[in-house]
Chain A
Amino acid sequence: MKSQNLVLKIFLGLYLAIFFSYLLGPLIIMGVTAFNSPGFPRAAPWECLTFEWFEVLSNDKRIMTGLKNSLIVGSGTVILSVVLGLAGALMLTQIYPKLRATFYTIVIAPILIPGVVLGISTLVFWDRLNIMLGLSGDSFLHNGIFLTILGQSTFIASYCMLVFLARLQRFDMGLTEAALDLGATNVQAFRKVLVPFLMPAIASAAVLAFLASFENYNTTTFTFGKYPTLTIELAQKVRYGINPSISALAFTIVVLTIFAAVTHEVTQRRKQLALASGATVSAIRGDGFLLPGFLRSNPAAIVLLVLSVGAVATVGFASTYSPDSCKVVVREQKRALQQKQIEKIKQQRLQQQRDKATKGPDIFGADKSKVAPQSGFATKSPGVGAFGNVFAPTNLDKTQPKPESKTESPGKGAFGNVFAPTNLNETGPKKP
């Protein structure tokens, strides 16, 4: 039994490890590339810790404009989709039972239709309408933001409707009747009874709508006009070649997402804890956030505080830290490496010529067999090799002079330069 359990546990652990690395691995790698200095996003070889990509990102006009457009489109889509979705869901609860299935199919259809089709049809429809109304090409009906919001909302509203429908199924229609019976008008009953009940659903529908709008590409690609959104910009960037500023953007989004999720989770847990400890619901619903001693009483707030302090510290570090020295080191290393290779190749040639002269075409000569693999290895890794260059040919060369830059580097590179090649060099830093 026990050994069986152990095996099961190991398998489960293994499965989870694979599962999570599959899920999170790409994100982690991408996060690492945002802080690595090479001009193409890559995690290995690690060169220098740098924050320059965030700066590049913030100076990238197109990305920033795309972000702005995405936010505008997102907000518009949220408003339109939530309103349409709520109306659709309410309609479904009120409509004659016989018509319900038909109506449901109609309003759910946009989810099943490919986004590309929605995009094209939105564009064509409003373009025709524009022409019919005899408006010019830059009229409101041709505005990219207007079209994108409409195009995205066609299917995002359906998602929202599903969210509302789930919540409405738990609504006691008797509550609306009670409100009416107590003298409320229909509008008052809706506003004071139904909307407060739907508030959680409205919030989740809004988040869902925003995220769906933010990441949408295939509908937007037809409708964006002069207002490319972030996804459109990113896709175009990939075509022209990318740099790690995209990783920096992705990293920022991931961090914001995690932060939001943790904050949400923490507040939820705090509520549950308070409920479990016997506090009244009304006390929690009330002005709990304004309590003066709230830091002392709940660990969640401390976590939040630590997170924000961490964020501030990171920003502070980033503003003072300069990767320049590290870059110089890397550049010097690369140059030295190249120099060495050139010399190696020269020596090799010299040797070959000499061999030719003395022994003729004997390719299995002792000297040659010693040199050939070395040179082959060296030519294959022109940059700074993996594993901090421990295997680089220079490490084996005892007569190689120390790199000049040594005095500049102590403690400033990543990990205090413990992995710098000079550390393995016998003539490197003096032993105590």
Chain B
Amino acid sequence: MSRGVGVSLQDVWIKFGDFVAVREANVDIQGGAFFSFLGPSGCGKTTILRSVSGFLDPSQGKIIIGGNDMAGIGPNKRPTALIFQNLALFPLMKVWENIAFSLEVKGVGTAARRKRADELLDMIALTGQGDKLPSELSGGQKQRVAIARALCAEPDVLLLDEPLSALDLKLRQHMRTELREIQQRVGITFIYITHDQSEALTMSDHVAVMKAGVIDQISDGQTIYDDPSTPFVASFVGENNVFRGKVKSIDGDKALISTNRSGDLLSRIPLSAKGTLGVGDDAMMFIRPEALSIAKDDAAANNHVTALVLNEEFEGQTFNVFLEGDGGKEMKMSLVNQGKARESAKGSSLTLEYAPDQAIVLPAGELASE
């Protein structure tokens, strides 16, 4: 029952004076998809959302919703509904009036509005709360009212601007699944803005990772995590151990990297970097903390790293081990908690190993700042 319409941004530039907020954005979002823009704050993702909803016009390029160019069409004429970061519920209207506001401005009668609002209240599990004021609701309830209000306008595209950022962790996790369910039920296109990578990865069909106005990578969550296309994406999405160095040799999809401090290490070349890396190039190698494990033997190998355990941290399902490699190189390793009493290795020197398939090498570039 997918009735969502596609959204595409074609060569969109958005400038404020001399400042370029969005640079050459090309995005194709399929109808009925859950699409996320992920990036640190100030990277221009909200700007993109505002231009899609019609609050600002791109300086250059086209925004096409459902095949129609949106240039010159105001926010109240676009088939989009935006859920604001602070929700922007009307404080002086009752909950049901808030939800049915889009009908009120169309001139729908009170009884019909009330009926529709009650239906939506049922959907968001707030039956009978319609006569309260927004200020009398909890954070999660307000969140759901905002969603219901946006859905009441029957948009083709729902835009969400970090709507979960104000909620506590438990509620956020709950709302994540709820949002995903709602999206699947109503079948419209969701465009979701977040700086929280786990939100983006868990909910989205596709994620666009942005850095300073530029979209670095658009892909599904798994690809973003496993095959990041730039050092920024690799370091921003999830945690990563970075090894700088030069490409020593290339053999098919494997490359041997001569790292600055940790010796020669073998790594996989992801699809995006194929052909762009040559022998002698500056490169960055990434190994996820969970890809590291304690080696079975201490023999030197091109997938072994030696390091000193500085600190250990218990985090529930994992142990985080902080290590110091040769030349003061900081590393992190995550070990799955197997429930056995583990002896502390603090202060001892370990040899770590990894599967070369799980390490990737990319041309050197900018990392996400910590």
Contact = CB atoms under 8 A, between A and B. Distances in A.
Interface residues of B, number: 31
B105 A174 contact: no
Nearest to A177: B55
Given A172-B88, A175-B90, A197-B92, A181 B80 contact: yes
A185 B135 CA distance: 26
B84 A178 contact: yes
B90 A193 contact: yes
Interface in B63-93: 74-76, 80-82, 84, 86, 88-93
A180 interface: yes
A281 B135 contact: yes
A21 interface: no
A178 B99 CA distance: 12
B28 interface: no
A196 B131 contact: no
Contacts of B88: 172, 174-175, 177-178
B153 A182 contact: yes
A182 B131 contact: no
Interface string A175-196: 1011111111100100011001
Contact of A282 (B53, B84, B86, B132): B132
A127 B94 CA distance: 52
A280 interface: yes
B53 to A, nearest CB: 6
Interface string A110-151: 000000000000000000000000000000000000000000
B76 A180 contact: yes
Nearest to A196: B92
Interface in A394-415: none
Contacts of B74: 180
Given A180-B76, A183-B76, A282 B101 contact: no
Contacts of B81: 181-182
Of listed A172, A178, A282, residue having the most chain B CB within 10 A: A178
B211 interface: no
A74 to B, nearest CB: 29
Contacts of B104: 192
A287 to B, nearest CB: 12
Contacts of B94: 282
B149 interface: yes
Interface string A159-185: 000000000000010110111111111
Given A196-B92, A282-B94, A182 B136 contact: no
A184 B92 contact: no
Given A192-B104, A282-B94, A181 B53 contact: yes
* Top 8 A-B residue pairs of the complex, sorted by shortest distance between their CB atoms: A178-B88, A182-B102, A184-B105, A174-B88, A180-B75, A180-B76, A181-B82, A196-B92
19 contacts: A174-B86, A177-B75, A177-B84, A178-B84, A180-B75, A180-B76, A182-B76, A182-B102, A182-B149, A184-B76, A184-B102, A192-B101, A193-B90, A197-B92, A280-B132, A280-B133, A280-B136, A282-B132, A282-B136
